A and B are shown apart, each in its own frame.
Chain A
Amino acid sequence: MQIIRTEKLEKIYNDNGVPVHALKGIDLEIAKGDFMVIAGPSGSGKTTLLNLMGALDKPTEGNIFIENEDISTKSKKELSEFRLKNLGFVFQAYNLIPVLTALENIEFSMMLLGINEEERQDKALALMKELEIDELANKRPNEMSGGQQQRVAVTRAIVNNPSVVLADEPTANLDSETGAKLLDLMQKMNKEKNITFIFSSHDSQVIERAKRLLILKDGKIVEEK
């Protein structure tokens, strides 16, 4: 079952008068349960593609369908709602709200969905236990290591049962051992819950674990494995 489909995706940035052609016709289908890595040199368009698939940005040309819904026709508010219900995000760093504890950070996305406090807490704690990070529950981000923060971020990303989790270089700030632990966790979620993961990464250990690997160069797919 396909979860994301792009058609002739083009992205041209035109911020400072000089147009930058970041994506040049991306045609792509991603199946449910995939564990896909987008690799490629710096500036090749990985983040741009991920942002489009994450409904954070709109393409200049072409269409993008997530769960068969055309993203390019949605308003900002609808996109926000769509992301909340269907997508999870893990960024390179600073994912968490510094003044909230790990547990509260995870609860936060459920709060945005309007889930009541009791249910939120139960569910967040249960998931933290399952992912073996429950000892972090009452810690604030500044009391956690980078790897711990990223694991909390992954937990937050999956707590609302999204169809897809998008992670832009999630291991870039971690050493290889902590990176591996984070990947273990995501792989486990992929296997057990059939959550689709899409990464961008330069990291060889991320690339090694990919079910599917996409290599971008100059805004085009140059290789697929």
Chain B
Amino acid sequence: MLLTLAWRNIWRNKRRSLIVMISIVVGVMMVFFTNGFMNGMLFQMLKNQISSSVSHILIHKKGFNDNKVIQSYIPDPELVEGAIKEQTGIKNYSKKLISFGLLSSASNSSGVFLNGVNPIEEKDVTKIKESIIEGTYLTENKRDLVIGKKLAEKLEVGIGDKVVAMANTPDGSIGSEMFRIVGIYKTFSSEFDKIYIYANKQITQEMLEVENKEYEFSIICEDYQQADIIKEQIKNQLPDEYEVLSYVDLLPMIIFQIDMSKQWMWILNIIVGVALIFGIINTMLMSVYERIQEIGVLMSIGMKNGKIISMITLEAFILGVTGTIGGIIFSLLVMWPFYNSGINLAVFSDGLNSFGIGAVIYPVLNINDFAATLIILPIVSVLAALYPAYKAIKLEPIYAVRYV
């Protein structure tokens, strides 16, 4: 009966109640929108970095990550490979040569990171194969080379064209080799496309006089969130002369932004929560003042304070719950299409590309966030209603009854 009473009391002043509900709906939508798109953007940035070059865990000789010199090869690749094979939670890994060098065409030349890879291993670790837009991926042919679109434009080369790569060998002389472009790729990032080139590992090892040497192990874990734990476990298996880094170490800016966005979400939640608190306090106070006489009658006939508090907080609770559910439903309705097909920001795509974000952003919807909101907002509504409820029970029935 209290529930009926609370429900009908809410609809006594339709406009006022609707305003509160709509403001909750809007607040909830705002939170989910910002949250969804911000997370969508950040996770995409993270995913892009991981899938292009960073992977989940990288293993080098100590110092290689900061200074990629050809002398810093992995001392004992078998030891590392053994450790990886024993480690659980690892999906794929690849080993490669990485060297800074110069790539020249007939018309131009450009500084590059030459990646000497095993094409079969590499396709399970990075997404270069999937990013090819012209030509093919690396084949058995020794001199195959895959480069990015931006670089191809700069060097004014296309499929089938010859280019020459040059880089330092460990003894300080220059190793060089002729390659033929078989594929052109395009990733989310034009910066990346300008620098990273891929060739078969063996020819690059020969060119740089580092036969059988490896420079980097890239590991993909079954669950990326386990990367830091797995990293520590591998680290413990290897001597000190190795560096084992996870994407968290390698992408500090993005991780920082993700943390920031979490905090920002808290701030936004608090702002929405505070707005909600004031909305509820205001509405419920007005509603209590309008009903002073009625509350006086209820007190006179023996309604106890506890029941009066229940009646008033129940009204706020209903407002909070309906508003929150409405907000969640509307958020889902509006975001669902984007969730499936992404938001196309092609108009800004140049700007976004240099940030490492693709033109299409997929908002991230998190069930936990919805659940948390569904629990927290109604509780907040009830807490906010406590003050008006307190005002109500402070009324003296004899004055309240005669109040006009």
Contact = CB atoms under 8 A, between A and B. Distances in A.
A95 interface: yes
Interface stretch (A77-85, A127-135, A208-216): A77-85
Contacts of B359: none
Contacts of B372: none
A57 B397 CA distance: 9
Interface stretch (A34-42, A64-72, A103-111): A103-111
Contact of B301 (A51, A57, A94, A109): A109
Contact of A51 (B297, B299, B304, B398): B398
Most chain A beta-carbon contacts within 10 A, residue among B8, B302, B304, B305: B302
B85 interface: no
B294 A98 contact: yes
Interface string B288-305: 000001100111111111
Nearest to B304: A80
Contacts, number: 69
Contacts of B397: 56
Given A54-B300, A80-B299, A108 B8 contact: no
14 contacts: A76-B305, A80-B303, A81-B302, A84-B301, A85-B302, A95-B297, A96-B297, A97-B294, A99-B12, A104-B1, A109-B302, A111-B1, A112-B302, A157-B301
Contact of A94 (B1, B8, B293): B293
B91 interface: no
Nearest to B403: A94
A89 interface: yes
B12 A98 contact: yes
Interface in B1-17: 1-2, 4-5, 8-9, 12
A111 B2 CA distance: 9
B291 to A, nearest CB: 9
Nearest to B401: A91
Contacts of A89: 297, 300-301
A76 B303 CA distance: 11
A91 B298 CA distance: 12
Interface in B293-341: 293-294, 297-305, 307
A109 B2 CA distance: 12
Interface residues of B, number: 23
B9 A99 contact: yes
A123 B12 CA distance: 28
Contacts of A51: 398
Contacts of B294: 94, 97-98
Nearest to B298: A97
Contacts of B305: 76-77, 80
B12 A156 contact: no
A51 B305 CA distance: 19
Interface secondary structure of B, over-half rule: helix
A133 to B, nearest CB: 18
The 3 tightest CB contacts between A and B, nearest first, are: A84-B302, A99-B8, A83-B302
B288 to A, nearest CB: 14
A174 interface: no
B219 to A, nearest CB: 65
B354 to A, nearest CB: 61
Contacts of B12: 98-99
A108 B2 CA distance: 9
Interface string A143-182: 0000000000000110000000000000000000000000
A100 interface: yes
A104 B1 CA distance: 8
A99 B10 CA distance: 10
A108 B398 CA distance: 20
Given A109-B302, A112-B304, 9 more contacts: A51-B398, A76-B305, A84-B301, A84-B304, A95-B297, A97-B297, A99-B5, A104-B4, A112-B307
A54 B2 CA distance: 25
Interface string B135-170: 000000000000000000000000000000000000
A112 B304 CA distance: 8
A156 B301 contact: yes
Contacts of B304: 77, 80-81, 84, 112
Contact of A83 (B8, B9, B300): B300
A112 B397 CA distance: 17
Given A94-B293, A95-B297, A80 B302 contact: yes
Contacts of B4: 100, 104
Report which residue of B299, B300, B304, B398 has the largest number of chain A beta carbons within 10 angstroms of its beta carbon.
B300
Contacts of B1: 104, 107-108, 111, 117
A90 B395 CA distance: 19
A82 B304 CA distance: 11
A29 to B, nearest CB: 24
Nearest to B302: A84
Contact of A112 (B8, B293, B301, B401): B301
A77 B302 CA distance: 9
Interface in A33-66: 51, 54, 56-57
Contacts of A97: 5, 294, 297-298
Contacts of A96: 297
A81 B300 CA distance: 10
A220 B218 CA distance: 100
Interface string B367-392: 00000000000000000000000000
A208 to B, nearest CB: 27
Most B-side CB within 10 Å, residue of A97, A107, A156: A97
Given A57-B398, A99-B9, A108-B1, A94 B303 contact: no
A172 to B, nearest CB: 13
Contacts of B302: 80-85, 87, 109, 112
